[in-house]
């Protein structure tokens, strides 16, 4: 799966925002300490903007900015063949080249770049408020990798919104301690 497949499977901007809020709430319940959470949602990220994010603790992350202009999604898989760090410190050709002007500030947003100002991105999508679908750049994906941009792993719960998908994630992400057998006290 690549960002092209994800674009076809993502819900509308409003539904994606609701899903991201739900993931953040479920994560807050399962993991009370913010440092240990995968998903978060900041309703006051910037003036008139909200941000949903995921970080897996191993260097993979995504950020979704919701604004009046629409939504901008940036994903980064640190081991993906399309990492800027595997491409002479530059984003993979096509990943951010066609981002509309309204979303260009996010490409250079310090929260989404490294200490040298390089956009930390392997997958990028956007949807302007008037668009009828998610968009992405024209990308020549490297051969030989089933997930060259990391999109399959990064956006799994955004494209499979079933309760079973979250349950599978939670069973791996939040292992439960063994329970002691309950005894009945009649």
Q: Determine, yes or no, domain membership for 147.
A: yes
Q: Is residue 184 part of a domain?
A: no
> How far apart are alpha carbons 104 and 175 in whole angstroms?
40
Q: Report, as an integer, the average pLDDT of 19-47.
A: 91
- Determine the average pLDDT of the residues in 94-101: 98
**In a domain? residue 179:** no
Average pLDDT of 104-112?
A: 96
Adjacency order of strands within the sheet including 61-67:
39-46, 49-55, 61-67, 70-76, 123-128
Confidence at residue 36, expressed as pLDDT on a 0 to 100 scale? 84
Domain region containing 13: 3-173
Question: Which pLDDT does position 115 carry in this prediction?
Answer: 94
Number of domains in the chain: 1
Q: Are 95 and 123 in contact (CB under 8 A)?
A: yes
Residue 136 lies in a domain: yes
Domain-located, residue 158: yes
Percentage of the residues of the chain whose pLDDT score is greater than 90: 75
* 175 pLDDT higher than 80: no
pTM of the model: 0.91
According to the model, what pLDDT value does residue 12 have? 97
Q: Does the pLDDT of residue 180 top 60, yes or no?
A: no
The answer to whether residue 146 sits within a structural domain is yes
- pLDDT class for 108, splitting at 50, 70, 90? very high
Q: Indicate if the alpha-carbon torsion angle 179, 39, 2, 128 is positive or negative.
A: positive
Mean pLDDT of the chain: 92
Domain membership of residue 181 (yes or no) is no
Q: What percent of the chain has pLDDT over 70?
A: 94
């Amino acid at each position: 799966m690549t960002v092209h497949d994800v674009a076809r499977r993502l819900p509308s901007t409003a539904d994606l925002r609701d899903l991201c809020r739900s993931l953040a709430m479920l994560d807050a319940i399962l993991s009370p300490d913010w440092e240990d959470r995968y998903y978060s949602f900041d309703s006051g990220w910037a003036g008139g903007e909200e941000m949903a994010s995921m970080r897996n603790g191993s260097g993979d992350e995504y950020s979704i900015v919701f604004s009046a202009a629409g939504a901008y999604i940036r994903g980064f898989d640190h081991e993906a063949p399309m990492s800027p760090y595997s491409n002479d410190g530059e984003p993979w050709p096509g990943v951010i080249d066609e981002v509309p002007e309204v979303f260009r500030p996010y490409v250079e947003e310090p929260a989404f770049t490294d200490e040298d100002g390089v956009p930390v991105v392997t997958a990028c999508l956007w949807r302007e408020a008037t668009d009828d679908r998610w968009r992405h750049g024209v990308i020549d994906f490297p051969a030989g990798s089933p997930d060259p941009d990391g999109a399959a792993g990064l956006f799994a719960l955004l494209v499979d919104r079933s309760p079973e998908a979250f349950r599978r994630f939670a069973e791996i992400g939040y292992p439960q301690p063994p329970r002691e057998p309950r005894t009945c006290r009649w």
